[in-house]
Chains A and B, each alone.
Chain A
Amino acid sequence: MVETTLAAPRRAEARGPSPRHLDPDADLVTRWQEGEEEAFEALIRRHERRVFGLLWRMLGCREEAEDVAQEAFLSLHRHGHRFRGEARFSTFVYRVAANAALNRRRTLGRRRARERELAERQAAGTDLPSAPRSAEAAAAGSEVQTEVQRALQELPHDLRVATVLYDIEGVPYGEIARVLGIPEGTVKSRIHRARKALRDRLRPLMGAEHRSSEP
């Protein structure tokens, strides 16, 4: 068998707790906590892609993700004095971002329900994505990516955050466990359940490839 695992080299990071001297952000964090704002800006630039990626996949809308990413970094700045280096700084960042995404989804829930009702009336039964289809398709670059994004939005929050962090952002199990405050085994279980749910949802897109890969 040529390929037996999905694990990428990026997952070879250490899984245990990370003392401050092993945290690649430790120096910047110290300088920031001592009052150097440029250090915080450097931290943002170091983590913005992953934070934005997480939020985009969690919220399903680029504009919302950008807005919440700003709020998450502001929150980080506001509460940064509480970071003591018990975990990696990136863990702290993901936790703040994941909480921000959850809060925003709760806020959006009622509004989207009303919007969906209106859209359904207008489209008379058309299955609409959570964001405007043309914009999402353009941003994602293809219909498949749009479908994957829509499928992600249909996952429960706890499954979605686990699979986004692991499968898309490449965060190791151990760090996800610390971000979410759950055991590593639960992280693995959620990722597997998320993949199966996504597989069920995306199976129609796999037909052609299946047939071509049949022995």
Chain B
Amino acid sequence: MIHMRARRLLGDYLEGDLDLARRARVDAHLAECEECAREVRELRQTVSMLRGLPVEAPPALADAVMARIAAGEARPSRWVRATRHFGESGGGWALAAGFAALLIVVTLEPVPLGDPRGDFSMPVQVGSPVVVRVQPAASQSVPGRYGSARHTAAFAGAAAPAAVGALDDEVERLLRARDPESLVLLMTNPSRGQRTALRRGDARAERRLHSADETR
């Protein structure tokens, strides 16, 4: 077997994913190629090291979580409750897909100038609003501009609930942190949990938002 071809098969070889004929050819190559044989030995040893890592959960993890739930910490925020219907019905998602963007403006408590949390590329205005920009399934109405059809389909399908959960968490985190560094949340590919938390004043972020506005 040609050396480079054998090397490409080593991953599947190690996992036992090769058919018998190809496995036999790789075995024959390993018998005569010390470089590949060493690669296999080292990768096996690497996996062995990974599997040797001990893990045990902290004994009080479940108790701690249940105590926090009892204290009301798992209660959805008003933002989540307001948007919950999007995740509970296909109709909700279809409606959401009809909009090019959903703009939510939340006013936060004033943030003191010179707040040490993070480095701001522009001064943050006292009492400035936080803008959370969500773009659910926009490609249905504007094909090819916000994402591919595949993304849109996935967003409306089974992957959506967890992705929305992740978005909720991100928005809640931003709101809880009152972090003026992450004022703008642009969600471009919700189905895969990809989102971009962008800071206001970041030139690249502003360009992306501008571009989104123009295409809408």
Contact = CB atoms under 8 A, between A and B. Distances in A.
Given A6-B47, A49-B55, A52-B57, A210 B66 contact: no
Interface stretch (B95-103, B105-113, B156-164): B156-164
B161 A168 contact: no
Given A82-B164, A87-B158, A99-B193, A41 B61 contact: no
Contacts of B144: none
Contact of B53 (A73, A149, A181): A149
Contacts of A106: 197
B69 interface: yes
Closest 10 CB pairs of A and B: A5-B16, A82-B161, A53-B55, A192-B11, A79-B165, A86-B158, A77-B74, A48-B57, A181-B192, A52-B57
A1 interface: yes
Interface stretch (B37-45, B134-142, B200-208): B37-45
B19 interface: no
Interface SS of chain A = helix
Given A5-B15, A99-B193, 20 more contacts: A48-B61, A52-B56, A53-B55, A69-B61, A70-B65, A77-B74, A78-B165, A78-B168, A81-B84, A81-B87, A103-B173, A110-B118, A148-B53, A167-B47, A167-B51, A188-B17, A189-B11, A199-B42, A206-B45, A210-B38
Interface in B49-98: 49-58, 61-62, 64-66, 68-69, 73-76, 80, 84, 87-88
B5 to A, nearest CB: 15
Contacts of A144: 49, 52
Nearest to A181: B192
A213 interface: yes
A202 B44 CA distance: 12
A74 interface: yes
A205 to B, nearest CB: 8
B14 A5 contact: yes
Interface in A24-53: 37, 40-41, 44-45, 48-49, 51-53
Nearest to B75: A78
A4 B61 contact: no
B39 to A, nearest CB: 8
Contacts of A163: 50
A86 B45 CA distance: 37
Interface in B157-183: 158-159, 161-162, 164-166, 168-170, 173
Interface residues of B, number: 61
Interface size class of A (residues with CB under 8 A): 35 or more
8 contacts: A6-B44, A52-B55, A77-B74, A79-B162, A168-B55, A181-B191, A199-B46, A210-B42
Given A41-B62, A100-B169, A181-B193, A78 B53 contact: no
Contacts of B192: 181-182
Contact of B61 (A44, A77, A148, A181): A44
A145 B42 CA distance: 16
B29 interface: no
Contacts of B15: 5-7, 188
